[in-house]
Structures are given as structure tokens and as C-alpha cells.
């Protein structure tokens, strides 16, 4: 694709694509049409499967601007091709946000495409303007419009394209759009709906049937019908019909579910502001970016993404995040520093109402409506993008599937050899042309098994069912195989490793710049009037829904600890009394100090506090604050709570105790979650209206430090055991949390992620400031008292003896862990890109990580070839859950569609279960693939040998082999459940790997040898002769020797001694390889526990032995078997027994013991001892000469690791400066130099 102009669209985004322009070419179309006729439609199919060929074959290159058809190619590793048709639209302006009052500056030339009725309607609506012709195309439910300025296609997201500031949204966009402007923007943005069209059964059927696999089956069926193999053809047709029907049902069901999921908010009536103060009712489908909608008091399901400009909303966002806790959304700031910044949906999500989320209730003040400006509509919304990712998923990138195609190509190559061999042999024997064509094509259908995809899918389907039984639900079955390869799992902390709720351990107040002793009781009388308790009672986002307090669990715990009561006014009260404070908190009457109770004027008055304004918690700022007024007082107060370090930095220095850092460290080292509180008395001249427009930066400054709240976050009882199990299985574990660094390290130590004898190095990075470059300070934390004796004992006892050496070295190698904060992670990613991969190789704790940083971390780990799992509670882990190879959400909400796996058990015990099932499914896929490949080759060998004497297998012989043996065995051998424990070793990820190829090749050679042996031996028997209907070899004496060559008595020549012999031998070979390949331990339960498989094998063995030793005439006639002497039958039993024994010996001895254990496994680990100790050297050398020789034989000596993280680990072993020494600093200007810097 070097010729022609190429453009890049969506540059830098996930769906970046290259675009080429094409014009239709008449002579190319005529040629293709002739080709289609000549090939009977096959060329058309080929062009359908390969869109790039279809476009290049019928069009000529042109500029993208003048194109009629576009060819698109994704720039990711999949390089997918798409074609798109360019359309022309008439509009009175060139862009959606153009003003209609101005004349258009640029006129587009007349396009070559027709102008339809819709365009005539546009001419009518906007008659006062000269319409522009706008070229556009649609791809994956997104419209791309041609922009003459940038000379490329672009898509319009919504109001964000204008890069408007928060203040200008209030000033320029809060009054609403006129009807004309709304209709104009609708031309570009279309209807506001996430249209999941459920395709008709007919369209789905056509798409399914045009799959290359079904076309191959159709070809096979036509060929078999031409050979009168009607029975087998009928069986395959029946199988295909069942397979297609099942597939159609599943696809249709998924479409209907997705359609139902988005239909809830797709069409509803909304109140829209039409400039000035006009309000009209409109359908939600008519909304465009810039429209102003009114949120009703009783709530609604949002039909679009909109930013709140007036009022407050309580929203349930579980549909998007999986977090069922109601979230408070406040109006966008209209003044101050924050208002000057450009509106960004991610940055201002606390002010944004997302499509599909439910507004539970609104808060408004008398005479004011709760208003929101529409920002995005349709598929541009957050919900729309989520639905798009489900409708148009990226292909699953897994080595197994690539290798499967390579393997099939090898089989096609083998089929090609058989094809040529058959043609040459048939021509030499002067076989009729029709027979030559049929038989040579038949060999292709034998070599490439039509039942392969169905058999491969069976293992995954069974694994999915088993996962469902243990409460793990899967929406992406192909990822189950990926779980078998996981070698690293990231865990969220709160709610995942630890209990969801926090318990209040105590408080430590600060007075006069000093800490008071810790107190466990908050609700005591002496504290009722204190600012500390007032802060706890007011600084939260709690609300009452149907009389129940609802909100963040941490806020709930804090508020309940005070024993105060929260009261919200009803709608009627709000309208009648015009209250300044909509929410009031007050202590229960019995805790009010007696002085207040005796005075009727002040009774309970000074203790009631009204919440005037709320600045919700921001994960970026790590704090929240409120402005309140105590009833009876003229001034207002501000209360703040958040991360201790952040709160302390916003307080007056003299109010923060000098022992602040030491006290905080004491608590965080013990694993407590610490929250700091602060207070500030505001000026009395501040009015309620002025407070509503103040920015939080002006309020959250110059505060008085109040003290610390100490929360206890208990580790779930399953956590330590699961992490120990994963560690023993050679699966690395990381913690990725939004919590404090020292708390995270403490929890990591408590749950065994970091063991007591291991060092923790905190990488503390700071961005460049003034003339100082960015730098990293490496701080070593103090180790608790070491108790490594027990952990090392457990370590060694639980492993096999031969792996102890590896484990001890791994123990030394990994005796240090890095801990990185979100801020440091951002600085290192930007200023130290060369260090980030080294760091994540040994980093175990990532603290204070923002949601997008969790996703970045997963990407970095994947970039060094880790197969990454992510386990979180679905709240702020959505991006990471989606990005990881295997995301496991512990949220039971079905709406959390971001994660491929959802566990109904709210603890991490689901992770080992998923990995075990993944390993079992992966090994099952290998077993089935190997078995199906061997089945093809065994049948290919039988048919090729029979072709040499112008014979073949009979129709019913094919039927018996393919239905009674192959299908039953392939579907039952997949039923082995997963092994009960995770082992140190992982299954191979590739079919093209040494042990697997050796396994397949040794079995092929074995089967070939025994088939050729039987074929030659039968012809050497004394009773052998050309079989005729009159032949009766069972009763012929041994002297009746005949050296006649077999010649056909009918056109097929099915009945003969060679056919009967090969049918018996090959039937036993299928069963032998099935049992040999059906591996159990260490990834699956042994085959004898898979009773359907064992029963099938026993029944087939019994049946075959019975008809071989005691022939039944009816069965012999049905299977077209001829009678052979009893001695030859006994000989055949010996041949098949020896064949089975050899197959077992080769698989177990050569593949399992010699190759896997000594060669491939010995070269697998990174952490190998560089040389044995001198005392043990001779012994070790003697023990290892065998593996060394075999490694040399298989060219694996000194072979470097194939994955990047192993390369990196080997490099770091030789790096004397890694890990950095304590108290050193790395500067961005010279990454290698480290300057000593005592801390």
C-alpha cells in the first residue's frame, strides 16, 4: 500500500486508522464480474472475506478528498481492513458549531454523488443560505466529516470540540439553543440514540453461512454427494445446522440483551430550554450538544452526557462503573481558577451526568430549576462508547489461535501432497477423469477436519459452565484460555484484599499545635460542640433515599460514629419556606449539653448545622469540603477532610502538630487508614449567594488543623491464603490502590504479598521545578522484625524437590520490592521512560493511583510481555479491568459490563479458580487440537495406502469413524475438570512449541509405521488373494497362497482384506491417541475421573474387539468388512496392543519426562544459578550432562528467553547499580548518575 495518498484518522487514539481513497473503475468491475461467473461465485466470496482485495480489484486510487470508496486499516497489531462508502450531505454551514448568521467562507465543489430527498428538505429549511456539500462516511457507528482546513476526515464528539472554559459554559451555553440551531446541529450529530439494531435472522444466517469454515463444509458435502456418500454428508449437514442454529441463537440473544440494556433511556420526553425562558417538551432523540435540559425533581434516566450548571443531583452510576453507592453531582464552577480551565469530561466528572445513569433526586432552591447543558449525544457518550466496544470488539490476540491457523496451513500442505499423489497414481492406473477429480479433492476434505472448530469450542463451553457453578460469570468466553497463561495479577486493595467497610478505630484531635491522646468514643457529650465532631457530621456526601441514609461507606461510618441525625427538607418545604440550607444535621437530644437544654432560647439551636455548599470528593485533589452555617450564628464555616498530607499542606503551619509526620507514619505502618480534618471560619460578610459562586481554591486554604480520624481496614480472611497459593504457582501479585503509601505497604506485608524479611524501596519522584530537573529519591523503609524462618520452610516444603534450587534463587532475587505512588508514577512515566520497565519488574505496591494510572500500569506490564490479570471491585478499576488480558470484577452488578469476568463471591478466592479453569481449558484445547490433527493424519494415511491399490474406505466406515469415534471422543475428552491446586509450572501458550510438536510427530510416525506394517503383513499372508464375493478366507487352508494383485470388481473396490485390516488398525489408533493426549495432572483431573470419556472409550474398545474377534455378519455387511481368518484377527489384536503401548511409552517417556522436564523446563526459568557451588560442582555436573546434551541436540543451549521481562531480569542481575542504594537521588538530566543525598 505504498501508492496513493494516505491519511491518518483518530491519530493517537485507540482506534487510529490509515485511510486510502478510491474511485470505481468500469473495466476492473467487468473483469471481476467475468471472474465471478467463471469461478461459480468463489471469487465474490474471496473479495467478501478480503475487503482490501475487493476495493483494489474494482476501483482505482484517487485522493481521499475526491474518493467515492475508502479503504481503512487499523494501525494496531491486528491490521484489520474495512471498506466505507463516502456520502454527500447538504448543510448551510461547514461545521456543527458554525454560526448560521455568518456567510460561509469556503464553498465546497459539487460532488459526484447524487443529492437526495433529505437534501431537498435541508434546502427548504435553510433557504436563506447557500448550502455546502459535506463529504462524510460512517464506520463502527461513528460519522467522520471531511474538513477542508486540515484536509482530512474528523469526527465530532460534542461540546468539548469547542474547547470551552467552564465559565463560558455558564455565560454562553446555559440559555439553550434556538430551534433553527438545534435542527442545524442535528444534521451533523444525528439522532440522540445508541441504536443497537438487532439484525434479522436472515442477515445473521447469511453472515454465519459465509464463514470460510461453512463454505468448506458445503464444498465437502457436495463432493461426498457426488461420491454417493449420502449418509456422512447428511450427518455433516445435520451437525452444521445444529451448530449454525446454536450460533444464531447465541448471537441474536446477545444483540437483544444489548438492545434492551440501552433501550431504557433511548427515547423519553425531556424539558428543553429554547433561549430566553421558553421551555418546551421534546423527545430525547432530538437533543444535540449545546441544548439545555431540565432535570425533574423526581429524577430520570439520563439520555445523554450533560454538565450540570444549576443545582445538585444524586446519581446512581452503577450502569457505568459497577459502584452502587449514590454519587452527588454539583454544578460546574462559574468563577475562580477552576472556572477558567477548559471543560474536560474526565476532569469534571463530578459535575457531569452520564448517559444511562439514573438521577435519583435533585436538590434545588426556590424558583431555580436544575439545569444541565448537553455535552455529548448518541455513540459519543460514555455509555455509547462502552456499547461500541461491545458491538465492535477487538480480535482476541492469543498465540494459540495464530498457531492453530499455522497448523491448519500445514495440514493443507499435507493435503496438497496427497492431492498430487492421487492425481499421478490415478493417471498411471488410467482411472476415469471424473474419479480422479473426486478422489483427489476427497483427500483434501479428509486432511482438514470439518468438525475441528466445534471440537475446539467444546472445552471453553464446558469451562464456562464450571465457572458459572462456582459463581464466576463470563461475557467473553475466548478469554478463558488466556486465564491459563496469567503470570501476574494486580489487585485493588479496599473491598478486594481488605473488607469493604472501614471500622472507626479512634480519633486523635489536635489542640494548640499539639496532638491530644487518642480517643475511641466520638459521640460523648464533651465533644458535641467541638469543631472536630461538627466536621465529621457535615463533611460528607450522604443523602436520604426513601428514608434511608445512603452514600459512601466511609462517610456512613464516620457520620454514624457521631450519633448525629441528618434531615433533608421535602420538596414542598423547599418551595414554601425558601430555606437557605437544604440539609441539616443535629445531635440527638439526649447528648445536647445541659446548659443548652435549660435555656429555651438556645435549646438545640447552636448544635444544628445547615450544609450550605458542598465541594464533592475529588480523587485528583484527594479531598472534599463543605461550607456550613450553625443555626443562630451570623458567620459561615468551612470544613475539610482528605488525605493527611494534602490537608496539612492547606492548613496554617502553626496549627499542624510538629509530630504530625511521625504520628501519621505510626498509624499507616500498622495498616490503619488515616483521614485528616480541618476547619476555617469564613468572613461574616459572605452571603449565601456569594458562597454559591466561590471556587473551592478560595475556601480550601489557610485552614486550622483539627486532627486525625483513624479507620481500621481489616484484611479479608481468604486474602492471605489466596496470595500464598498464587505465589507458589509462580504468579506475581501487585497491589494497585488509591490509598496511602504506608498503609498499602503495611497491608501488603500483612497479607503476605511482601514477606517480613524483604526490603521495600519507595521511589519518590518529583517533577521539574524552577531550575531543578525531575528527580527520584530512593527511600528504604524499615523492616519489621524478621520472621523469615517459617515462610522459607513453607516455601520449600510445598514444592517438588527439583524446583527447590530455582525457588531459593528466586527468593534471593526478589528480596526487595519497589513501592510507587501515583504522583511518582506520572513523573517517572514522563521524565524517566527508560526506568519505568525496570521499576515495574520489581514493584509490588502502587499507592494513590488514579483510575487512568491503573490502566497505564496494566499497559506497561503488558509491554514487557506479562499476561496480566486485574481483580477489582469495579468502582474505579473499570479501565484496568477492560485493558487487562483477564479482568475480574468483584461487583455483582450485571451492569458492570467493563469486565470480561464477574464474580458473585466478594473475595479474591475466585482468582485461583479462574486460573485453574483457564489452564484446564487451555490444555483441553491443545489435547483436542492434537487429537483432531492426528485423526486427520491417521485417516489420510489409511486412504493414501488404499488409493495405492485403487480402493478406499466405505461410506459407513467413514460414518462410524467420524460420528461414533471422533465426535463422541472429541466432545467427551473436553470434560476433564480442572486440577484441584495451582502448580508452579504454566501450560505452554503455543502449539508450535518443542514438546507439543514432538508429541504430534512421534504419534504420526508411530501410526504410519503400524499402518504400513499391517498393510504389508496382510498381503504376505498365505490365505491372501484378490477378494471376490465368493471368497471365504475364514475357511481357506494355509496352502491357498495367491500372489495375484488385487483388482477392482466394482467401481469402488471397498471390500478387500487391506481395507478391513486398515479399518481395524486405524479405529484402535484413534482411541489410543485420544487416551494418550487426554492429559490429566498437573492442569486437569485425571482422565479416569472423566466418566463420560472413560465410558465412551470402554464401549468403543469392547465393540471393536467384539466385532474383530467374533464377527457379526450384519455388522460386517453394514461396515463393508470382509471375513478374515481367526489367526489374523489375533495378529491384529497384537498389532494394535503393541501400537497403543508404543504410543504411551513415547508420550510419557520422551515428551513428558525427557523433553519437558529435562530440556524445556531446565531452560524455562530466568532465575537460574549462574554456577554451582564448588563442593557440589562434580555431582551437579554429572546430574546435568543428560539435559545439557539434549539441550544441545534441540538447539536450546544458551537460548535467550523469548519474553521481555525475562530479558530485563537477566540484564538487571548483572547491573551493580540496581537496585539503587539507600538515600540516593536519580536526576532526569543524567539518568545513570546518582548523587548521594542523605534523607
1120: helix, coil or strand? coil
931: helix, coil or strand? helix
Answer yes or no: 492 catalytic.
yes
d(CA 82, CA 75): 12
Rounded to 5 degrees, what are φ and ψ at 20?
A: -120, 145
Q: Which residues pair with 9 in a beta bridge?
A: 17
Q: Which helix (H) or strand (E) holds 613?
A: strand 609-618
d(CA 1090, CA 1078): 10
Q: Using CA of residue 1022, residue 1026, residue 1027, residue 1031, what is the dihedral sign?
A: negative
Residue 1150 φ/ψ region, left for φ over 0, alpha for ψ in the -120 to 50 degree band, beta for the rest: alpha
The DSSP output letter for 651 is: B
d(CA 1198, CA 1191): 9
Question: 3-state SS of the chain: helix, strand, coil percent to 5?
Answer: 45, 20, 35
Of 469, 477, 413, give the one whose Cα is nearest residue 925. 477
d(CA 348, CA 166): 9
Q: Would you give the end-to-end CA distance of the chain in angstroms?
A: 58
470: helix, coil or strand? coil
Q: Which residues contact 598 (CB under 8 A, 6 or more apart)?
A: none
DSSP string covering 21-51: EEEE-HHHHHHHHHHHHHTTTHHHHHHHH-H
Of 99, 131, 164, give the one whose Cα is nearest residue 307. 164
d(CA 76, CA 107): 36
DSSP string covering 1148-1187: IIIIIIIIIIIIITTTT-S---SS--TTTHHHHHHHTHHH
Of 208, 227, 214, 218, give the one whose Cα is nearest residue 959. 227
Do residues 528 and 593 lie in contact, with contact meaning Cβ atoms separated by under 8 Å? yes
Cell of 106: 469556503
Of 743, 737, 779, 786, give the one whose Cα is nearest residue 761. 779
Of 1071, 1069, 1121, give the one whose Cα is nearest residue 1094. 1071
CA dihedral 1189, 1191, 1195, 1201 (to 10 degrees): -150
Q: Which residues pair with 23 in a beta bridge?
A: 60
Do residues 1008 and 1016 lie in contact, with contact meaning Cβ atoms separated by under 8 Å? no
Q: Which residues contact 1192 (CB under 8 A, 6 or more apart)?
A: none
d(CA 441, CA 356): 55
905: helix, coil or strand? coil
d(CA 1229, CA 1231): 6
Cell of 976: 476433564
Choose the catalytic residue: 492, 552, 637, 739.
492
Q: Which residues contact 1077 (CB under 8 A, 6 or more apart)?
A: 927, 930, 931, 934, 973, 999, 1003, 1147
Q: CA angle 992-1167-845, nearest 5°? A: 100
Q: Which residues are catalytic?
A: 492
Amino acid at each position: 500500500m505504498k501508492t496513493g495518498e494516505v491519511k491518518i484518522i483518530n491519530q493517537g487514539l485507540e482506534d487510529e486508522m490509515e485511510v486510502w481513497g478510491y474511485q470505481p473503475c468500469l473495466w476492473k468491475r467487468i473483469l471481476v464480474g467475468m471472474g465471478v461467473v467463471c469461478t461459480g461465485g468463489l471469487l465474490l466470496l474471496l473479495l467478501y472475506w478480503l475487503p482490501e482485495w475487493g476495493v483494489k480489484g474494482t476501483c482505482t486510487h484517487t485522493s481521499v478528498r475526491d474518493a467515492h470508496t475508502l479503504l481503512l486499516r487499523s494501525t494496531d497489531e491486528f491490521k484489520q481492513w474495512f471498506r466505507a462508502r463516502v456520502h454527500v450531505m447538504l448543510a448551510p454551514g461547514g461545521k456543527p458549531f458554525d454560526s448560521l448568521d455568518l456567510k460561509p467562507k469556503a464553498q465546497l465543489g459539487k460532488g459526484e454523488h447524487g443529492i437526495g430527498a433529505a437534501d431537498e428538505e435541508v434546502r427548504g429549511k435553510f433557504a436563506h443560505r447557500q448550502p455546502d456539500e459535506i463529504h462524510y462516511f460512517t464506520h463502527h457507528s461513528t460519522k467522520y466529516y471531511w474538513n477542508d482546513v486540515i484536509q482530512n476526515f474528523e469526527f465530532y464528539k460534542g461540546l468539548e470540540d469547542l474547547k470551552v472554559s467552564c465559565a463560558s459554559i455558564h455565560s454562553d451555553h446555559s440559555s439553550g439553543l434556538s430551534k433553527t440551531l438545534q435542527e442545524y446541529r442535528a444534521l451533523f450529530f444525528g439522532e440522540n440514540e445508541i441504536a443497537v439494531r438487532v439484525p434479522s435472522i436472515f442477515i445473521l444466517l447469511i453472515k454465519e453461512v459465509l464463514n470460510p469454515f461453512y463454505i468448506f463444509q458445503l464444498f465437502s458435502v457436495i463432493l461426498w454427494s457426488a461420491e454417493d456418500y449420502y449418509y456422512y454428508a447428511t450427518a455433516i449437514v445435520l451437525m452444521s445446522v445444529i451448530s449454525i442454529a446454536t450460533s444464531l441463537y447465541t448471537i441474536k440473544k446477545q444483540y437483544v440483551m444489548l438492545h434492551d440494556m440501552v433501550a431504557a433511556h433511548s427515547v423519553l420526553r425531556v424539558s428543553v430550554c429554547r433561549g430566553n425562558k421558553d421551555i418546551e417538551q421534546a423527545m430525547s432523540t432530538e437533543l444535540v450538544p449545546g441544548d439545555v435540559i431540565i432535570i425533574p425533581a423526581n429524577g430520570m434516566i439520563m439520555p445523554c452526557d450533560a454538565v450540570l450548571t444549576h443545582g445538585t443531583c444524586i446519581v446512581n452510576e452503577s450502569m457505568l462503573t459497577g459502584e452502587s453507592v449514590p454519587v452527588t453531582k454539583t454544578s460546574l464552577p462559574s468563577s475562580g481558577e477552576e472556572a477558567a480551565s477548559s471543560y474536560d469530561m474526565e476532569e469534571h466528572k463530578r459535575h457531569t451526568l452520564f448517559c444511562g445513569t439514573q438521577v435519583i433526586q435533585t436538590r434545588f432552591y426556590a424558583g431555580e430549576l436544575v439545569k444541565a447543558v448537553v455535552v455529548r449525544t448518541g455513540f459519543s457518550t460514555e455509555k455509547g462508547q462502552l456499547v461500541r466496544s461491545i458491538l465492535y470488539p477487538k480480535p482476541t490476540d492469543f498465540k494459540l489461535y495464530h498457531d492453530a491457523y499455522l497448523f491448519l496451513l500445514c495440514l493443507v500442505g499435507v493435503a496438497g501432497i496427497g492431492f498430487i499423489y492421487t492425481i499421478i497414481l490415478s493417471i498411471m492406473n488410467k482411472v476415469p477423469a471424473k474419479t480422479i477429480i473426486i478422489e483427489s479433492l476427497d483427500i483434501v476434505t479428509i486432511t482438514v477436519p470439518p468438525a475441528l472448530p466445534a471440537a475446539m469450542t467444546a472445552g471453553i463451553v464446558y469451562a464456562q459452565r464450571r465457572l458459572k457453578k462456582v459463581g464466576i460469570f463470563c461475557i467473553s468466553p475466548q478469554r478463558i484460555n488466556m486465564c491459563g497463561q496469567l503470570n501476574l495479577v494486580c489487585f485493588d486493595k479496599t473491598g478486594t484484599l481488605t473488607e469493604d467497610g472501614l471500622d472507626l478505630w479512634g480519633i486523635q484531635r489536635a489542640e494548640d499545635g499539639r496532638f491530644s491522646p487518642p480517643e475511641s468514643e466520638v459521640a460523648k457529650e464533651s465533644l458535641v460542640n467541638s469543631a472536630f465532631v461538627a466536621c465529621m457530621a457535615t463533611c460528607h456526601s450522604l443523602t436520604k433515599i426513601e428514608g434511608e441514609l445512603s452514600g459512601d461507606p466511609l462517610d456512613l461510618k464516620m457520620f454514624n460514629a457521631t450519633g448525629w441525625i441528618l434531615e433533608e427538607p421535602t420538596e414542598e418545604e423547599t418551595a414554601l419556606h425558601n430555606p437557605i440550607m437544604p440539609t441539616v444535621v443535629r445531635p440527638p437530644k439526649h447528648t445536647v449539653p445541659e446548659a443548652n437544654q435549660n435555656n429555651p432560647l438556645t435549646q438545640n439551636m447552636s448544635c444544628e448545622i445547615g450544609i450550605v455548599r458542598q465541594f464533592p470528593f475529588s480523587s485528583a485533589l484527594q479531598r472534599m469540603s463543605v461550607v456550613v452555617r450553625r443555626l443562630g450564628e451570623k458567620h459561615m464555616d468551612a470544613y475539610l477532610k482528605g488525605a493527611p498530607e494534602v490537608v496539612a499542606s492547606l492548613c496554617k503551619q502553626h496549627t499542624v502538630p510538629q509530630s504530625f509526620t511521625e504520628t501519621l507514619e505510626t498509624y499507616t505502618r500498622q495498616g490503619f487508614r488515616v483521614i485528616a480534618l480541618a476547619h476555617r471560619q469564613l468572613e461574616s460578610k459572605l452571603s449565601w449567594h456569594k458562597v454559591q459562586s466561590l471556587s473551592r481554591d478560595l475556601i480550601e486554604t489557610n485552614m486550622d488543623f483539627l486532627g486525625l480520624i483513624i479507620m481500621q481496614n481489616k484484611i479479608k480472611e481468604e486474602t492471605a491464603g489466596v496470595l500464598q497459593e498464587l505465589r507458589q504457582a509462580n504468579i506475581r501479585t501487585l497491589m494497585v490502590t488509591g490509598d496511602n503509601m504506608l498503609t498499602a505497604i503495611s497491608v501488603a506485608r500483612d497479607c503476605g504479598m511482601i514477606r517480613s524479611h524483604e526490603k521495600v524501596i519507595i521511589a519518590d519522584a518529583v517533577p521539574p521545578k524552577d531550575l531543578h530537573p525531575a528527580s527520584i529519591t530512593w527511600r528504604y523503609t524499615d523492616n519489621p522484625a524478621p520472621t523469615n524462618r517459617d515462610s522459607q520452610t513453607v516455601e520449600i516444603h510445598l514444592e517438588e524437590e527439583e524446583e527447590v534450587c530455582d525457588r531459593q534463587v528466586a527468593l534471593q532475587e526478589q528480596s526487595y520490592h519497589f513501592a510507587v505512588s501515583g504522583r511518582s508514577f506520572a513523573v517517572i512515566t514522563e521524565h524517566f521512560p527508560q526506568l519505568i520497565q525496570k521499576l515495574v519488574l520489581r514493584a509490588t505496591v502502587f499507592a494513590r493511583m488514579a483510575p487512568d494510572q491503573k490502566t497505564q500500569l496494566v499497559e506497561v506490564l503488558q509491554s514487557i510481555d506479562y499476561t496480566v490479570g486485574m481483580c477489582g471491585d469495579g468502582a474505579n478499576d473499570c479501565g484496568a479491568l477492560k485493558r487487562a488480558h483477564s479482568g475480574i470484577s468483584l461487583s455483582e452488578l450485571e451492569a458492570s459490563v467493563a469486565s470480561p469476568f464477574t464474580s458473585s463471591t466478594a473475595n479474591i478466592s475466585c482468582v485461583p479458580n479462574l486460573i485453574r479453569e483457564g489452564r484446564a481449558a487451555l490444555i483441553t484445547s491443545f489435547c483436542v487440537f492434537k487429537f483432531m490433527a492426528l485423526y486427520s493424519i491417521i485417516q489420510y494415511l489409511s486412504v493414501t495406502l488404499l488409493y495405492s491399490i485403487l480402493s478406499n474406505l466405505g461410506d459407513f466406515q467413514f460414518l462410524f469413524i467420524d460420528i461414533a469415534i471422533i465426535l463422541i471422543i472429541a466432545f467427551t475428552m473436553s470434560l476433564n475438570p480442572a486440577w484441584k491446586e495451582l502448580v508452579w509450572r504454566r501450560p505452554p501458550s503455543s502449539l508450535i512449541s518443542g514438546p507439543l510438536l514432538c508429541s504430534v510427530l512421534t504419534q504420526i510416525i508411530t501410526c504410519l509405521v503400524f499402518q504400513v506394517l499391517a498393510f504389508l503383513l496382510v498381503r504376505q499372508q498365505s490365505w491372501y488373494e484378490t477378494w471376490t464375493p465368493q471368497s471365504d478366507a475364514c475357511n481357506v487352508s494355509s496352502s491357498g497362497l495367491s500372489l495375484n494383485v488385487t483388482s477392482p470388481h466394482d467401481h469402488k473396490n471397498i471390500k478387500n482384506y487391506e481395507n478391513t485390516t486398515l479399518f481395524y488398525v486405524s479405529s484402535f489408533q484413534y482411541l489410543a491417541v485420544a487416551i494418550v493426549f487426554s492429559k490429566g495432572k498437573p492442569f486437569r483431573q485425571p482422565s479416569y475421573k472423566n466418566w463420560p470419556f472413560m465410558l465412551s472409550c470402554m464401549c468403543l474398545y469392547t465393540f471393536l474387539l467384539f466385532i474383530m474377534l467374533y464377527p457379526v455378519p450384519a455388522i460386517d455387511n453394514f461396515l463393508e468388512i470382509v471375513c478374515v481368518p481367526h489367526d489374523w484377527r489375533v495378529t491384529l489384536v497384537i498389532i494394535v496392543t503393541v501400537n497403543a503401548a508404543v504410543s504411551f511409552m513415547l508420550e510419557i517417556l520422551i515428551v513428558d519426562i525427557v523433553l519437558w522436564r529435562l530440556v524445556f523446563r531446565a531452560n524455562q526459568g530466568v532465575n537460574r544459578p549462574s554456577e554451582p557451588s564448588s563442593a557440589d560442582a562434580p555431582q551437579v555436573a554429572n546430574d546435568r550432562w543428560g539435559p545439557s546434551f539434549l539441550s544441545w541436540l534441540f538447539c536450546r543451549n544458551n537460548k535467550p528467553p523469548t519474553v521481555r521481562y525475562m530479558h530485563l531480569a537477566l540484564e538487571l542481575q548483572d547491573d551493580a547499580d540496581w537496585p539503587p542504594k539507600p538515600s540516593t537521588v536519580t536526576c532526569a538530566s543524567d539518568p545513570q548518575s546518582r548523587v548521594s543525598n542523605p534523607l
